[in-house]
Amino acid sequence: MKLAIVRQSYTPFGGAERFVERAVEALNRSDLSLTIVARRWRGAPTHEVLRCDPFHLGRTWRDASFARCVQKLIADRRFDIVQSHERITGCDVFRAGDGIHATWLELRSRAGGSLSRLGQALSPWHRYTLAAEAAMFADPRLRAVICNSRMVRDDLARRFGLDSAKLHVIYNGIDLDDYSPALRDAHRSRVRQEQGVGEAAPVMLFVGSGFERKGVRALIDAAAMMRESGAQLWIIGKDKHRARYEAHARGAGVAGRVRFLGPQQDVRPYYGAADAFALPTLYDPFPNAALEALASGLPLVTSASCGASELVEPGRNGFVCDALDIPALARSLDALCAPGAARAMAAAARATAMPLSREAMADRLVALYRSLMA
Protein backbone atom coordinates (compact mmCIF):
# COMPACT_ATOMS: atom_id res chain seq x y z
CA MET A 1 0.00 0.00 0.00
CA LYS A 2 1.47 3.36 -1.06
CA LEU A 3 0.63 6.10 1.44
CA ALA A 4 1.48 9.79 1.08
CA ILE A 5 1.35 12.06 4.13
CA VAL A 6 1.12 15.79 3.41
CA ARG A 7 2.38 18.37 5.93
CA GLN A 8 3.65 21.72 4.72
CA SER A 9 6.63 22.24 7.01
CA TYR A 10 8.60 20.74 9.85
CA THR A 11 9.03 22.62 13.12
CA PRO A 12 10.95 20.75 15.83
CA PHE A 13 8.61 22.10 18.51
CA GLY A 14 5.35 21.55 16.59
CA GLY A 15 2.76 19.15 17.93
CA ALA A 16 1.45 18.18 14.48
CA GLU A 17 4.96 17.42 13.28
CA ARG A 18 5.61 15.27 16.33
CA PHE A 19 2.41 13.36 15.59
CA VAL A 20 3.53 12.72 12.01
CA GLU A 21 6.99 11.64 13.18
CA ARG A 22 5.50 9.22 15.69
CA ALA A 23 3.00 7.89 13.17
CA VAL A 24 5.71 7.38 10.55
CA GLU A 25 7.95 5.57 13.05
CA ALA A 26 5.11 3.26 14.03
CA LEU A 27 3.78 2.76 10.50
CA ASN A 28 7.23 1.81 9.23
CA ARG A 29 6.72 -1.47 11.06
CA SER A 30 3.83 -2.30 8.73
CA ASP A 31 3.94 -3.14 5.02
CA LEU A 32 3.10 0.43 4.00
CA SER A 33 5.26 2.36 1.55
CA LEU A 34 5.46 5.86 3.04
CA THR A 35 6.14 9.19 1.33
CA ILE A 36 6.19 12.58 3.06
CA VAL A 37 5.13 15.55 0.91
CA ALA A 38 6.32 18.85 2.37
CA ARG A 39 8.01 22.16 1.69
CA ARG A 40 10.72 21.09 4.11
CA TRP A 41 11.14 18.20 6.48
CA ARG A 42 13.76 16.51 8.56
CA GLY A 43 14.66 13.66 6.23
CA ALA A 44 15.04 10.08 7.40
CA PRO A 45 16.25 6.95 5.61
CA THR A 46 13.06 5.09 6.43
CA HIS A 47 10.80 7.04 4.07
CA GLU A 48 10.83 9.16 0.92
CA VAL A 49 10.45 12.94 1.20
CA LEU A 50 9.08 14.87 -1.79
CA ARG A 51 9.50 18.64 -1.68
CA CYS A 52 6.74 21.00 -2.81
CA ASP A 53 8.33 24.40 -2.34
CA PRO A 54 7.00 26.96 -4.84
CA PHE A 55 7.89 30.63 -4.47
CA HIS A 56 5.62 32.66 -2.22
CA LEU A 57 5.30 35.94 -0.34
CA GLY A 58 3.13 35.96 2.77
CA ARG A 59 1.20 33.12 4.34
CA THR A 60 -1.88 33.28 2.08
CA TRP A 61 0.26 32.82 -1.04
CA ARG A 62 2.35 30.26 0.88
CA ASP A 63 -0.63 28.03 1.66
CA ALA A 64 -2.35 28.45 -1.72
CA SER A 65 0.81 27.74 -3.72
CA PHE A 66 1.62 24.68 -1.61
CA ALA A 67 -1.92 23.35 -2.14
CA ARG A 68 -1.61 23.73 -5.92
CA CYS A 69 1.79 22.04 -5.91
CA VAL A 70 0.48 19.09 -3.88
CA GLN A 71 -2.56 18.69 -6.11
CA LYS A 72 -0.33 18.49 -9.18
CA LEU A 73 2.07 16.06 -7.52
CA ILE A 74 -0.59 13.63 -6.34
CA ALA A 75 -2.17 13.72 -9.78
CA ASP A 76 1.18 12.74 -11.33
CA ARG A 77 2.10 10.10 -8.74
CA ARG A 78 -0.12 7.09 -8.13
CA PHE A 79 -0.60 6.78 -4.39
CA ASP A 80 -3.18 4.42 -2.95
CA ILE A 81 -4.05 6.86 -0.17
CA VAL A 82 -3.15 10.52 0.30
CA GLN A 83 -3.50 11.75 3.88
CA SER A 84 -3.26 15.51 4.29
CA HIS A 85 -2.60 17.52 7.42
CA GLU A 86 -3.32 20.70 5.46
CA ARG A 87 -6.62 22.01 4.09
CA ILE A 88 -6.27 20.78 0.49
CA THR A 89 -8.94 19.39 -1.82
CA GLY A 90 -8.31 16.16 -3.69
CA CYS A 91 -6.96 14.09 -0.80
CA ASP A 92 -8.47 10.84 0.48
CA VAL A 93 -7.94 11.44 4.19
CA PHE A 94 -7.68 14.62 6.23
CA ARG A 95 -6.32 14.59 9.74
CA ALA A 96 -7.93 17.46 11.62
CA GLY A 97 -5.01 17.80 14.01
CA ASP A 98 -5.22 21.59 13.98
CA GLY A 99 -8.96 21.47 14.58
CA ILE A 100 -11.51 23.57 12.75
CA HIS A 101 -10.40 27.06 11.78
CA ALA A 102 -13.92 28.46 11.91
CA THR A 103 -14.31 27.24 15.49
CA TRP A 104 -10.95 28.67 16.53
CA LEU A 105 -11.88 32.09 15.15
CA GLU A 106 -15.19 32.06 17.02
CA LEU A 107 -13.52 31.18 20.32
CA ARG A 108 -10.74 33.69 19.72
CA SER A 109 -13.33 36.41 19.12
CA ARG A 110 -14.91 35.54 22.45
CA ALA A 111 -11.63 36.23 24.23
CA GLY A 112 -10.40 39.15 22.10
CA GLY A 113 -11.51 42.73 21.76
CA SER A 114 -13.10 44.60 18.88
CA LEU A 115 -9.74 45.27 17.21
CA SER A 116 -8.95 41.55 17.25
CA ARG A 117 -12.31 40.75 15.65
CA LEU A 118 -11.81 43.44 13.02
CA GLY A 119 -8.36 42.07 12.22
CA GLN A 120 -9.80 38.60 11.75
CA ALA A 121 -12.52 39.88 9.45
CA LEU A 122 -10.06 41.80 7.27
CA SER A 123 -7.36 39.12 7.13
CA PRO A 124 -6.90 37.60 3.64
CA TRP A 125 -5.29 34.54 5.23
CA HIS A 126 -8.26 33.84 7.50
CA ARG A 127 -10.63 34.25 4.55
CA TYR A 128 -8.52 31.89 2.43
CA THR A 129 -8.28 29.30 5.21
CA LEU A 130 -12.02 29.35 5.89
CA ALA A 131 -12.75 28.92 2.18
CA ALA A 132 -10.17 26.12 1.80
CA GLU A 133 -11.58 24.35 4.84
CA ALA A 134 -15.16 24.50 3.56
CA ALA A 135 -14.13 23.37 0.06
CA MET A 136 -12.17 20.41 1.42
CA PHE A 137 -15.02 19.13 3.59
CA ALA A 138 -17.45 19.52 0.67
CA ASP A 139 -15.14 17.63 -1.73
CA PRO A 140 -16.62 14.20 -2.59
CA ARG A 141 -13.09 12.80 -2.96
CA LEU A 142 -12.58 13.13 0.80
CA ARG A 143 -13.28 9.66 2.16
CA ALA A 144 -12.27 9.92 5.81
CA VAL A 145 -11.45 12.50 8.46
CA ILE A 146 -9.19 11.53 11.35
CA CYS A 147 -10.24 13.42 14.47
CA ASN A 148 -7.93 13.45 17.46
CA SER A 149 -10.79 13.99 19.90
CA ARG A 150 -14.52 13.49 20.17
CA MET A 151 -14.79 17.27 20.53
CA VAL A 152 -13.49 17.73 16.97
CA ARG A 153 -15.61 14.89 15.60
CA ASP A 154 -18.81 16.34 17.04
CA ASP A 155 -17.94 19.85 15.87
CA LEU A 156 -17.27 18.63 12.32
CA ALA A 157 -20.56 16.77 12.18
CA ARG A 158 -22.46 19.80 13.46
CA ARG A 159 -20.72 22.49 11.43
CA PHE A 160 -20.25 20.76 8.07
CA GLY A 161 -22.89 18.03 8.19
CA LEU A 162 -20.36 15.29 7.54
CA ASP A 163 -21.56 11.69 7.58
CA SER A 164 -20.57 10.07 10.87
CA ALA A 165 -19.16 7.12 8.89
CA LYS A 166 -16.46 9.46 7.54
CA LEU A 167 -15.36 10.62 10.99
CA HIS A 168 -12.84 8.49 12.89
CA VAL A 169 -11.56 9.35 16.36
CA ILE A 170 -7.94 8.22 16.68
CA TYR A 171 -6.19 9.70 19.66
CA ASN A 172 -2.55 10.73 19.51
CA GLY A 173 -0.08 8.08 20.60
CA ILE A 174 3.17 8.46 22.52
CA ASP A 175 6.11 6.38 23.65
CA LEU A 176 5.08 5.30 27.14
CA ASP A 177 8.68 4.47 28.01
CA ASP A 178 9.97 7.92 27.08
CA TYR A 179 7.22 9.59 29.11
CA SER A 180 6.73 7.92 32.47
CA PRO A 181 6.75 8.69 36.21
CA ALA A 182 10.39 7.53 36.21
CA LEU A 183 11.26 11.02 34.91
CA ARG A 184 10.66 12.32 38.43
CA ASP A 185 13.51 10.36 39.99
CA ALA A 186 15.77 10.98 37.00
CA HIS A 187 15.41 14.75 36.75
CA ARG A 188 13.48 16.42 39.58
CA SER A 189 16.34 17.34 41.91
CA ARG A 190 18.75 18.45 39.17
CA VAL A 191 16.29 20.63 37.25
CA ARG A 192 14.98 22.26 40.41
CA GLN A 193 18.51 23.02 41.54
CA GLU A 194 19.23 24.59 38.15
CA GLN A 195 16.14 26.76 38.51
CA GLY A 196 16.84 27.61 42.15
CA VAL A 197 13.57 26.05 43.29
CA GLY A 198 13.26 23.94 46.43
CA GLU A 199 12.00 20.37 46.49
CA ALA A 200 8.80 21.30 48.32
CA ALA A 201 7.76 24.24 46.11
CA PRO A 202 4.72 23.44 43.93
CA VAL A 203 5.64 23.72 40.24
CA MET A 204 2.95 24.03 37.58
CA LEU A 205 4.24 23.34 34.07
CA PHE A 206 3.01 24.70 30.74
CA VAL A 207 4.34 23.43 27.40
CA GLY A 208 3.16 24.92 24.12
CA SER A 209 3.88 27.46 21.41
CA GLY A 210 1.44 30.16 20.41
CA PHE A 211 0.72 31.67 23.80
CA GLU A 212 -2.53 33.44 22.88
CA ARG A 213 -4.31 30.25 21.83
CA LYS A 214 -2.78 28.15 24.60
CA GLY A 215 -3.99 30.43 27.40
CA VAL A 216 -0.76 31.81 28.87
CA ARG A 217 -2.34 35.14 29.82
CA ALA A 218 -5.04 33.30 31.76
CA LEU A 219 -2.38 31.25 33.53
CA ILE A 220 -0.52 34.38 34.58
CA ASP A 221 -3.73 35.95 35.87
CA ALA A 222 -4.58 32.75 37.74
CA ALA A 223 -1.11 32.68 39.31
CA ALA A 224 -1.78 36.17 40.66
CA MET A 225 -5.06 34.97 42.23
CA MET A 226 -3.73 31.78 43.80
CA ARG A 227 -3.71 31.44 47.58
CA GLU A 228 -0.46 29.46 47.35
CA SER A 229 2.03 32.30 47.01
CA GLY A 230 5.00 29.95 46.76
CA ALA A 231 3.80 28.14 43.64
CA GLN A 232 5.93 28.38 40.50
CA LEU A 233 4.66 28.49 36.92
CA TRP A 234 7.17 27.32 34.32
CA ILE A 235 6.35 28.21 30.72
CA ILE A 236 8.11 26.23 27.99
CA GLY A 237 7.55 27.16 24.35
CA LYS A 238 8.02 30.00 21.93
CA ASP A 239 5.95 32.99 20.93
CA LYS A 240 6.95 36.04 18.93
CA HIS A 241 5.18 38.19 21.53
CA ARG A 242 6.88 36.61 24.53
CA ALA A 243 7.99 40.03 25.83
CA ARG A 244 4.34 41.08 26.15
CA TYR A 245 3.59 38.10 28.37
CA GLU A 246 6.66 38.77 30.49
CA ALA A 247 5.46 42.36 30.91
CA HIS A 248 2.00 41.08 31.84
CA ALA A 249 3.54 38.88 34.55
CA ARG A 250 5.40 41.90 35.92
CA GLY A 251 2.23 43.95 35.88
CA ALA A 252 0.36 41.19 37.71
CA GLY A 253 3.06 41.08 40.37
CA VAL A 254 4.08 37.47 39.69
CA ALA A 255 7.25 37.91 37.62
CA GLY A 256 9.24 36.18 40.35
CA ARG A 257 7.02 33.09 40.19
CA VAL A 258 6.41 32.86 36.43
CA ARG A 259 9.44 31.65 34.48
CA PHE A 260 9.66 31.76 30.70
CA LEU A 261 12.10 28.99 29.82
CA GLY A 262 11.78 29.20 26.02
CA PRO A 263 11.51 26.23 23.66
CA GLN A 264 13.27 23.07 24.77
CA GLN A 265 14.45 20.32 22.46
CA ASP A 266 13.78 17.80 25.24
CA VAL A 267 10.95 18.64 27.64
CA ARG A 268 11.10 15.39 29.58
CA PRO A 269 13.32 16.70 32.39
CA TYR A 270 10.74 19.40 33.06
CA TYR A 271 7.90 16.89 33.25
CA GLY A 272 10.02 15.09 35.82
CA ALA A 273 10.60 18.27 37.83
CA ALA A 274 6.99 19.53 37.83
CA ASP A 275 4.05 18.60 40.06
CA ALA A 276 1.17 19.29 37.67
CA PHE A 277 0.51 20.40 34.10
CA ALA A 278 -1.65 23.41 33.18
CA LEU A 279 -3.02 24.16 29.71
CA PRO A 280 -6.11 26.42 29.80
CA THR A 281 -6.20 26.71 26.02
CA LEU A 282 -8.79 28.78 24.19
CA TYR A 283 -8.93 25.99 21.61
CA ASP A 284 -6.83 22.90 21.08
CA PRO A 285 -8.10 19.70 19.44
CA PHE A 286 -5.75 17.46 21.44
CA PRO A 287 -2.31 18.72 22.46
CA ASN A 288 0.48 16.16 22.56
CA ALA A 289 1.90 17.89 25.61
CA ALA A 290 -1.20 17.07 27.66
CA LEU A 291 -0.80 13.38 26.90
CA GLU A 292 2.93 13.50 27.61
CA ALA A 293 2.22 15.09 30.98
CA LEU A 294 -0.39 12.50 31.93
CA ALA A 295 1.93 9.67 30.91
CA SER A 296 4.62 11.25 33.09
CA GLY A 297 2.27 11.11 36.07
CA LEU A 298 1.28 14.79 36.13
CA PRO A 299 -2.36 15.68 36.82
CA LEU A 300 -3.80 17.89 34.09
CA VAL A 301 -5.59 21.22 34.48
CA THR A 302 -7.14 22.19 31.17
CA SER A 303 -10.14 23.87 29.58
CA ALA A 304 -13.39 22.49 28.25
CA SER A 305 -12.32 23.70 24.77
CA CYS A 306 -9.35 21.32 24.79
CA GLY A 307 -9.86 17.82 23.40
CA ALA A 308 -7.68 16.37 26.17
CA SER A 309 -10.40 17.35 28.66
CA GLU A 310 -12.15 14.15 27.52
CA LEU A 311 -9.52 12.23 29.46
CA VAL A 312 -9.87 14.20 32.69
CA GLU A 313 -11.92 12.92 35.62
CA PRO A 314 -12.08 15.97 37.91
CA GLY A 315 -10.48 15.33 41.26
CA ARG A 316 -8.99 12.02 40.11
CA ASN A 317 -6.42 12.93 37.44
CA GLY A 318 -6.91 16.69 37.08
CA PHE A 319 -9.47 19.45 36.67
CA VAL A 320 -11.42 21.09 33.82
CA CYS A 321 -12.60 24.70 33.74
CA ASP A 322 -13.66 27.33 31.24
CA ALA A 323 -10.69 28.87 29.45
CA LEU A 324 -11.72 32.38 30.55
CA ASP A 325 -12.78 31.55 34.13
CA ILE A 326 -9.68 32.79 35.94
CA PRO A 327 -10.98 32.20 39.50
CA ALA A 328 -11.85 28.57 38.63
CA LEU A 329 -8.41 28.09 37.11
CA ALA A 330 -6.75 29.53 40.22
CA ARG A 331 -8.81 27.23 42.46
CA SER A 332 -7.82 24.19 40.39
CA LEU A 333 -4.14 25.07 40.61
CA ASP A 334 -4.43 25.74 44.34
CA ALA A 335 -6.05 22.34 44.84
CA LEU A 336 -2.98 20.69 43.33
CA CYS A 337 -0.65 22.74 45.54
CA ALA A 338 -2.03 21.17 48.71
CA PRO A 339 0.56 18.85 50.28
CA GLY A 340 0.45 15.46 48.57
CA ALA A 341 -2.48 16.37 46.29
CA ALA A 342 -0.66 16.14 42.97
CA ARG A 343 1.22 13.00 43.99
CA ALA A 344 -2.08 11.38 44.97
CA MET A 345 -3.28 11.79 41.37
CA ALA A 346 -0.05 10.62 39.71
CA ALA A 347 -1.04 6.96 39.34
CA ALA A 348 -4.43 7.86 37.87
CA ALA A 349 -2.80 10.29 35.44
CA ARG A 350 -0.42 7.59 34.24
CA ALA A 351 -3.22 5.02 33.95
CA THR A 352 -5.19 7.45 31.76
CA ALA A 353 -2.38 7.56 29.20
CA MET A 354 -1.59 3.84 29.17
CA PRO A 355 -4.00 2.85 26.34
CA LEU A 356 -2.63 5.61 24.09
CA SER A 357 0.64 4.12 22.89
CA ARG A 358 2.15 4.76 19.46
CA GLU A 359 1.51 1.13 18.60
CA ALA A 360 -2.18 1.44 19.41
CA MET A 361 -2.40 4.59 17.27
CA ALA A 362 -0.61 2.88 14.38
CA ASP A 363 -2.91 -0.14 14.58
CA ARG A 364 -5.95 2.12 14.32
CA LEU A 365 -4.46 4.07 11.42
CA VAL A 366 -3.57 0.92 9.48
CA ALA A 367 -7.04 -0.50 10.13
CA LEU A 368 -8.54 2.68 8.68
CA TYR A 369 -6.28 2.57 5.61
CA ARG A 370 -7.14 -1.07 4.97
CA SER A 371 -10.85 -0.34 5.25
CA LEU A 372 -10.45 2.39 2.62
CA MET A 373 -8.64 -0.05 0.32
CA ALA A 374 -11.21 -2.83 0.76
Q: Do 143 and 93 meet the contact criterion of CB atoms below 8 Å apart?
A: yes
| Integer Cα distance of 25 and 85 in angstroms | 17
CATH classification at residue 112: 3.40.50.2000
349 and 363 belong to one structural domain: no
361 and 337 belong to one structural domain: no
**DSSP, residue by residue, 316-363:** TTEEEE-TT-HHHHHHHHHHHHSTTHHHHHHHHHHHHHTT-BHHHHHH
pLDDT tier at 144, thresholds 50, 70, 90: very high
92 and 194 belong to one structural domain: no
- 132 vs 27 pLDDT, higher one: 132
26: nearest Cα among 366, 355, 370, 354: 366
325 and 208 belong to one structural domain: yes
End-to-end C-alpha distance for the chain, whole angstroms: 12
78 and 226 belong to one structural domain: no
Range of the domain at 146: 2-173+357-373
212 and 158 belong to one structural domain: no
| Integer Cα distance of 365 and 371 in angstroms | 10
Instruction: Tell me the C-alpha to C-alpha distance, in Å, between residue 137 and each of 85, 167, 294, 337.
Output: 13, 11, 33, 44
Q: Do 67 and 132 meet the contact criterion of CB atoms below 8 Å apart?
A: yes
Q: Does residue 12 surpass a pLDDT of 60?
A: no
7 and 87 belong to one structural domain: yes
The pLDDT assigned to 25 comes to 66
- Determine whether 78 is exposed, middle or buried from the number of CB atoms within 10 Å of its CB (0-12, 13-18, 19+): exposed
The alpha carbon torsion through 261, 265, 267, 270 (nearest 10 deg) reads: -40
The pLDDT assigned to 357 comes to 93
pLDDT in tens, 207-260: 999 999 999 999 999 999 999 888 999 999 999 999 999 999 999 999 999 999
Residues 6+ apart with CB under 8 A from 352: 294, 311, 313, 317
| Integer Cα distance of 343 and 330 in angstroms | 19
202: nearest Cα among 83, 325, 17, 343: 343
Q: Does residue 91 surpass a pLDDT of 90?
A: yes
The pLDDT assigned to 22 comes to 65
253 and 200 belong to one structural domain: yes
What's the structural domain count of the chain? Answer: 2
19 and 139 belong to one structural domain: yes
Q: Do 37 and 10 meet the contact criterion of CB atoms below 8 Å apart?
A: no
pLDDT tier at 45, thresholds 50, 70, 90: low
b/e burial code for range 299-338 (CB count within 10 A of at least 16 → b): bbbbbebbbbbebbeeeebbbbbebbbbebbbbbbbbbbe
335 and 365 belong to one structural domain: no
The vertex-58 CA angle with 96 and 137, nearest 5°, equals: 25
pLDDT tier at 27, thresholds 50, 70, 90: low
| Integer Cα distance of 70 and 82 in angstroms | 10
18 and 133 belong to one structural domain: yes
4: nearest Cα among 70, 101, 98, 96: 70
127 and 209 belong to one structural domain: no
Q: Do 144 and 168 meet the contact criterion of CB atoms below 8 Å apart?
A: yes
The vertex-267 CA angle with 261 and 273, nearest 5°, equals: 80
The pLDDT assigned to 240 comes to 94
Give backbone dihedrals phi and psi of 33, rounded to 5 degrees, phi first.
-100, 115
Taking residue 31's Cβ as centre, other Cβ atoms within 10 Å add up to: 7
